[in-house]
Structure 1
Amino acid sequence: MAKQLSYQEIHKIFERFRDAEAEPKGELHHTNVFTLVVAVALSAQATDAGVNKATGALFEIADTPEKMLALGEEKLIEHIKTIGLYRNKAKNVIKLSKILVDQYDGEVPSSRAALQSLPGVGRKTANVVLNMWWGHPAQAVDTHIFRIGNRTGIAPGKDVDAVERSIEDNIPVEFQLHAHHWMILHGRYVCKARKPNCPNCLIRDLCPFEEKTDL
């Protein structure tokens, strides 16, 4: 775990992220808030690219809870069987679709507690939906953000909850909305787990990580 950066250092880091990409976007394909919930739930222990490949045809025919229930679990499995844990995920998608129809008139709720009550929707999934769809500054901590938070000293923490709190405490308010997207993209394409691309890092001079790579 790197040393905690100062407010000024963190501000400089996110200024650079913003200058490089002012409006970062999540990479999971979706057409509405329901398909976003499904896509994020399916992405657990899977890549965004793999989920997008599986859901392209699925979302053309089942983009509402009602249509997903009509499709049924077995046909849903046929669409998502290339994704890890697909059987359990299919069960959860059908269950959450039924709950949305029965309890929420087919609408996806906009509170974290209500979202987390849905099968297969944990805090991370709820935070992604709150952030991407409703524009709440919710921080979804995945493996990339956990690594970046600790490696760079932006948001150190021993577990995902601690890192989430660190992001909320340490990152200036003006950057909170897009913070998790900037960190995910930085972790996915630059600050990789096994061999970070330090020579092409926007924040190399501000990062206290001791095992930087060279050209």
Structure 2
Amino acid sequence: KYGIKFFSVGGGVGIVYESSFVSGSSGWWKEQAPARHQLSIQQYVDAILPPLRELKLRILLEPGRLLVGNAGVLLTRVRYLKQTGQKKFAIVDAGMNDLIRPALYHSYHEIVPLRESQRGGERDKIDIVGPVCETGDFFARDREMPELREGDLLAIMSAGAYGFVMASNYNSRPLPAEALVRGDKFALIRKRQTNADLVRDEIEAQL
């Protein structure tokens, strides 16, 4: 009657954010309670398809975040540390223009120090913030982290979905490079932007 050919069920299967680093191991999943287990695409389809069959339409799913969300990691380096009263800050070289999800809707991203020696021991609350001149430029607030030092590399997890595609050149910041990693091999797939790249498409006008 209305010529409808497709029916979209909207958002797809969620991903693990709070334990994204360790969830890369199959052993971690075996230790989780059944209620914590992530749905597979097949389980998701089996649950929603029966009541939708009678529509006799093509059903659309959106599994993109499940496929790429935890495949992406944003690497950033601690530029310096500061403390204001009881508040501690780690200022990193990545900013909200590189990964805007925490600033935009306070999304949680696990942040992991790359030095293994830092992953144990005492932890303290600290804000992980970027260098952009915005109060909303942050990746984590009051996050319990091991002691950080200037120069430390941090991995901001779950950056594969709504990460690079939502990045911008805000504050005249060049976009970072992207590398593809498979096992012990890696390749550069997108070069880092330069300041020249930011103005390359501008055209001088004579008015």
TM norm structure 2: 0.23
More helix by share: 1
Give the structure with higher Rg (CA): 2
TM norm structure 1: 0.23
More strand by share: 2
